[in-house]
Amino acid sequence: MSASAQRSEKRTGLVAYNSVAELVDKLRPEMPVYALFPDAFANIAKTFIDGFPGETMYAIKANPAIPVLDCVYDAGIRHFDVASISEVKLVHERFPKAKLSFMAPVRIRGTAGEAFHRHGVRDFALDSDEELTSILRDTGAAADRAIAKQLTLYVRLQVPADGALLELSSKFGVSVSGASALVKAIEAAGAKPALTFHVGSQCLFPRSYTTALKRCAEVLAQSGVALAALDVGGGFPGYYLNVTVPPLTEFFTAIAVGVRALNLPKDCAIYCEPGRALVADGLSVVTQVSLRRDHTLFINDGIYGSLNEYALKDWPVRYPLRVFTPSNAGGIEEKTGRLSSFKAFGPTCDTLDVLHYMIDLPDTVAAGDWIEFQMLGAYSCSLRTQFNGFYPDTFVEIPANSAPLSAPN
């Protein structure tokens, strides 16, 4: 084990390997393994911390696995977007000094009060009069102006999602006139008014943020309210195969220009809440082929586990793949050569447990080989289930990032 691997293992408690090939060689895993790349987390976090014109929070729904949270925190992120009391508890217990923002516009009843009184949460999102009333009541702010002054309440504004692969505008968000009324009601209640929006997941166009910020300008013009904070949401893309995405700097520039045009108060805080963009590069899933039948493979992970995004309808993203196989010398080598397309079933007994598009692998791939699905840091751990008794949960670290793709600056 190299010195860097030893340092990583001592820091995190995870076993560390110098490469995925070494991981496979040492473990010969028969169940899926998550390989974490701390360098990848550090690089993308630095891009956001240095480049975004404000403060970055991590939307932990993208991947709440504790080893991933540790990597994000170690990379310098100290602010977390949480959307449930379970996420609140998880982050507060793991990182007591971290800031938490409860950015789900509709919460399970009673959780706003619990988050406020037990876990120190002071920031909440909403998109209706009913949720505003609920937050003020549950926190005690309705009866106590001193409590109200501690709250920053973000009105979720509905914005177009035509630049994103997955829209997030049909469930949450209020119109310009509705947002104007809500920020005025927040101000009247003694809390600090704020705005937020979400352009959709895997946004491909910086102009989507420009359009959304112009809609924020309409709210400000109608309401006359001075904002305490503005959260431009998530949507920042991962840099996968088969999709063309501008560098993150173009998104940051579009946001900076749009924010300046709002003429916000100097003390107005600016936030973003990337999920996918902060973690996509940082994790590979190492699977094994259980059986090959012609051009059909049976592998030990699937859509009920780490590969859920392979079930998304019309999802154009493709993830880099590598295949490892035992070498004649007794070690492990990467299998290369002419590619063929394969249908892949997951390990459960459900016929629906099949990747919804073919995967291209060396045509000599065989039972017992290992397939590394790269760039699966986003939503792989979030969406895994225990269906049929399968639940991958083994993590290791690869201190030197060997992932072939990374987000351009």
Structure tokens at 195: 């705005």
Helix, coil or strand: residue 50? helix
Question: What average pLDDT does the segment 348-370 reach?
Answer: 97
Question: What average pLDDT does the segment 352-373 reach?
Answer: 97
Residue 407: pLDDT band by 50, 70, 90 thresholds? low
Q: Is the pLDDT of residue 236 over 60?
A: yes
Q: Is the pLDDT of residue 403 over 90?
A: no
CATH of 3-37+280-397, one of 3.20.20.140, 3.30.830.10, 3.40.50.300, 2.40.37.10: 2.40.37.10
Residue 8: pLDDT band by 50, 70, 90 thresholds? very low
The pLDDT score that the predictor gives to residue 161 is 83
> Please, what is the average pLDDT of the chain?
94
Q: How far apart are CA 221 and CA 223, in angstroms?
A: 6
Q: Which residue, 239, 243, 231, is CA-closest to 199?
A: 231
Question: What average pLDDT does the segment 2-28 reach?
Answer: 74
Question: What average pLDDT does the segment 187-194 reach?
Answer: 98
Could you tell me the residue ranges of all domains in the chain? 3-37+280-397, 38-279
Structure tokens at 118: 């037990």
The Cα-based distances of 6 to 25, 37, 134, 399 in angstroms read 18, 14, 50, 9
Q: How far apart are CA 317 and CA 171, in angstroms?
A: 24
Architecture of domain 38-279: Alpha-Beta Barrel (3.20)
The pLDDT score that the predictor gives to residue 170 is 87
Poorest-pLDDT segment among 24-28, 35-39, 154-158, 166-170: 166-170
Question: Please, are residues 196 and 155 in contact by the beta-carbon 8 Å criterion?
Answer: yes
Q: Is the pLDDT of residue 4 over 60?
A: no
